[in-house]
Amino acid sequence: MITDFLERNARLYGDEVALVELNPSDAHDSAKTWREFSLIERSPSGKYRREMTWREFDRRANRFANLLLTRGVKKGDKVAILLMNCLEWLPVYFGILKAGALAVPMNFRYTGEEIAYCLDLADVDILVFGDEFIDRLAPLAAGESRIKAFFHIGRAQVDFAEPYEAYTSYCSTTPPAISLCDDDDAAIYFSSGTTGFPKAILHSHRALVSSCMVEQNHHGQSRDDVFPCIPPLYHTGAKMHWFGSLLSGSRAVLLRGVKPEWILRAVSEENVSIVWLLVPWAQDILDALDAGTVKESDYALDRWRLMHIGAQPVPPSLIRRWKERFPHHQYDTNYGLSESIGPGCVHLGVENIDHVGAIGKAGYLWETSVRTPNGDEAATDEVGELAVKGPGVMRCYYKNPEATAEVLDGEWLLTGDMARRDKDGFLYLVDRKKDVVISGGENIYPVQIEDFLRAHPAIKDAAVIGVPDERLGEVTAAIIEFRDGMTATEDNIRAFCEELPRYKRPRMIIFDKIPRNPTGKIEKPVLRERFGGGRLVEAQTTK
């Protein structure tokens, strides 16, 4: 059981720090100042920094588990978490599991309507939330709802919720006597919702345990490593990378901000050794260093040994830039889905830096297949749909057998991603199946064009979508975001694209911001809605 790892760490390393939370400031001197916490401060270590030992972590999880039992929570009930990254997040998560309930992490960007939808879809009984969500939850609490109890973490006074800190402080630190096994249901995660309202993804305790083993195997976390958890904990990517720290009993840092100077300061002050970044954050760090707005010499970065990226296709040009700046860093990339308990079902490996651009081979405990439309294994370099098989495959989309049947083929998960396998067995992600543009009968894979465009010195980010065309069915439109202080004309971009085969050259060039969700994925439905309705000429403005 994954809760066994926490209890082991509390027993063996009880006085050692498990979690640190850093709270950056948005003040003018943000590189030197951290912001005072909005949450209740219990740590003597300072207003900007809180920490928690493994023993306290386990005790807090036990207290919350016992509090849930006093509220009538039974094995199999659902408890949702709606919190920003904070020191309370993981003890709440593990407390839910120890009570025999299912943890239901919620996207903190959900609107009130989306929150209500997801709570209903997952049959949630209890909700834990922070100050940031009071206004969004008040209408839900005032109306008819299946929620039996709300627990609030923060300083605000909330008339419809019980104070988490006050109530848990009176509960027992003894683990509740709940019988659990690896085959029990453990958690419901939500799909990213980039194609509409999210689906509820059901995972078992066995899947959570497997993700710990996969992560630790891939990145070799030891007790001396320090890992900063920067992406949102509600997402499988962030938490499952942290699971490597859980398995190794090593320290993690929760950073409440993603500015380059904040990330580098956290690495410097907390002796961080492994960093997982999303593509935009890595780009921002390099851009800030190149522009001189952030100076590498201001930080102690010598313990940083590994930078790895996942959650979206990684432009090879970005990794080349990173290795030029940090030649001593090992690099790795991980591929996964929430349906496969997050990152790791495909894994490049630090020893395969010569295959940058590939997402790798089957990860530890995983198998992969590239399938043609008729279900056969694709030939070398033939594009097909990537399927994965392993202990982290979801049980189902909760209460959605039709959607489940579309993606589960026995023990295999159809990812919806198009990929190819080279002669050495390395997989290359080509595009999302739903994002492939078919223009005049020709399949065009936007990711390939996006990677090409990002190699332009003035381009920070790029997204390619298909837009309706009366003659060809669809044509490609490239949305381009420039680096700060840089620009280019449409003619310049078109000249740059002449190196592409003619059919891959974007028919339309649009200069605008690239919307990405909290896990770094481009929100292409937003772009299609914005630019796919026949008003493209109006949007083609240059800076």
Q: How many helices (H) and strands (E) does the chain have?
A: 16, 27
Long-range contacts of 346-351 (CB under 8 A, 24+ apart): 346/386, 346/388, 346/427, 347/218, 348/426, 349/218, 350/306
Hey, what domains does the chain have and what are their CATH numbers? 48-180 (3.40.50.980), 436-539 (3.30.300.30)
Our CA angle for 202, 207, 209, nearest 5°, is 140
Altogether, the residues listed in the chain come to a count of 543
**In this structure, what DSSP letter does residue 134 have?**
H
Coil vs helix vs strand at 192? coil
d(CA 246, CA 252): 9
pLDDT at 60: 95
Q: What are phi and psi of 345, to 5 degrees?
A: -70, -25
* Integer CA distances (angstroms), 193 to 113, 197, 392, 403, 533, in order: 13, 5, 21, 14, 21
- 150-160 burial, b at 16+ Cβ within 10 Å, e below that, comes to bbbbbeeebee
Residue 10 pLDDT > 80: yes
237 vs 305 pLDDT, higher one: 305
Give the model confidence (pLDDT) of 257-286 as tens digits: 888 999 999 999 999 999 998 877 888 899
Beta bridge partners of 511: 480
From its phi and psi, is residue 520 left (phi > 0), alpha (psi between -120 and 50) or beta? left
Which residues, other chains included, contact 524 with Cβ-Cβ below 8 Å and sequence gap of 6+? 194, 435, 463, 465
d(CA 398, CA 202): 6
pLDDT at 191: 82
Q: Residue 377 — pLDDT band, cuts 50, 70, 90?
A: very high
Q: Once rounded to an integer, what is the mean pLDDT over residues 66-73?
A: 94
Beta bridge partners of 343: 336
Give the model confidence (pLDDT) of 163-222 as tens digits: 998 888 889 999 999 999 999 999 999 986 544 578 999 999 999 999 999 999 999 899
Cα–Cα nearest to 194, from 511, 413, 519: 519
Q: Residue 471 — pLDDT band, cuts 50, 70, 90?
A: low
Beta strands in 54-174 (DSSP E): 78-82, 102-105, 124-130, 149-153, 162-163
Q: Is pTM beyond 0.85 here?
A: no
Maximum C-alpha span of the chain? 70
Residue 468 pLDDT > 90: no
Q: What percentage of the chain exceeds 90 in pLDDT?
A: 56
